[in-house]
Amino acid sequence: MNSAVTIEAVKKEILSIQYHHFEYTTLVVCAITLKNGYTVTGESACANTEVFNEELGRNLAQCKAEQKIWALLAFRLRDSIAYDELVDAEMASLMESTIPVRKPGTVRYIVKYDFGD
């Protein structure tokens, strides 16, 4: 597992990108659909219509949407690290009376046996 979120990891999650420029405005919205079906959005708007550049608006909106993906991947990574730390701590504290078991293709399981007196 990676120990950090990278721009490559963000790009790897992207399934499709769509843009919409709202007519008669400087508002541009970027909708990025991720491989898991979730969608994030980013927006940009120019304060001065005389200098509005739609391509720049698309780039800014996409950057803002990608920042949201970055945050989601950081959460996923931290959640995974915390889970591993919790499982490792539980296994260490139960080691005398437990037998760690792994079912192929699944997450770790801990089976506790009571051998009686």
Q: Dump pLDDT digits (tens) for 104-117.
A: 555 554 545 555 65
Distance CA 66, CA 60 (A): 10
Helix, strand, or coil here: 86?
A: helix
Half-sphere exposure of 47 (CA within 13 A, CB side): 0
Q: Dump pLDDT digits (tens) for 38-90.
A: 999 999 999 999 999 999 999 999 999 999 999 999 999 998 888 877 776 66
Question: Which CATH topology does 7-85 take?
Answer: Double Stranded RNA Binding Domain (3.30.160)
Q: Check residue 115 and report its DSSP letter.
A: -
Q: Provide the β-strand partners of residue 22.
A: none
